[in-house]
Homo-oligomer: A and B are copies of this chain.
Amino acid sequence: MMNSGPFTAEARHQNKSARTRARLMDAAVQVFARDGFEAASVNEIARMAEVANGTFYVHFKDKDAIAVEVAARIATDITDQIDRAMADIDDGLERFGFATRQFIEFASHQPQWGWVIIRAASFLPQMHRQMETHMCADLERGRRQGQITADIDAFLVDTIMSMVFAALAARLRGDAGPEAGSRVTELVLNMLNIPPQRAHAIAWQTIALKELHLPTRPRQERVSPPAEPVRLGPIQI
């Protein structure tokens, strides 16, 4: 019923409970991606994981619990790895561009994760916020470096997030190709009034897209500090 997924692979050498739990999480990803969160049923997740219905409840309180856990793991894995992959980039705008492109390309190589991210973003605020925090850190850096003059407030960040997610969705639907990340990066930089040439250069420079590993093997230590949270001011009129 299922080609065992990344969580299962990670748990290969742990005890049985952990392995079953991992099976359930992989199954949940598949079902959430296929049916959406609301339409997904615990029965279907258990069936997909090839465990009995009751087993689910040994490991998770209910559907919400597994959704939160899956989404948190995915968000953490991706943001951590992107962070690590661009540890040596200093320029805030380049970091933004790299992260955006890496994120979209990665998520579209793992369409199930991609769909889960998109679907989860709308009703798991913690996941949304985590990604916002990371993005925000790079934008703030760009501002401190004098490249962005605009105020970076919640409305702006929210808008940029929606653009990145729209690009990812287009990529997942097949409406956009591998250029999606570059295109949306350039649009965002234009929006921030970065000089068009520079925006274009940043967005379209060839970069080494790392293959992200999912999930990170036995929880590695972070290489760079985890993106200092940025305090967003209230929206100004």
Contact = CB atoms under 8 A, between A and B. Distances in A.
Given A162-B165, A191-B190, A237 B155 contact: no
A88 interface: no
A52 to B, nearest CB: 26
A179 B237 contact: yes
Interface string A168-204: 0010000111111001100110111100100000000
A207 interface: no
Interface string A35-63: 01011000000000000000000000000
Given A36-B38, A159-B187, A191-B190, A154 B175 contact: yes
B170 A158 contact: yes
A214 interface: no
Contacts of A152: none
- Name the prevailing secondary structure of the A interface residues: helix
Contacts of A36: 38
A173 B134 CA distance: 23
Interface in A126-183: 154-156, 158-159, 161-163, 165-167, 170, 175-180, 183
A235 interface: yes
Nearest to A166: B162
Nearest to A235: B176
A180 B155 contact: yes
Closest CB pairs A-B (n = 6): A162-B166, A38-B38, A191-B191, A179-B237, A162-B162, A190-B191
Given A154-B175, A155-B176, A162-B166, 6 more contacts: A155-B183, A156-B187, A187-B191, A190-B190, A190-B192, A190-B193
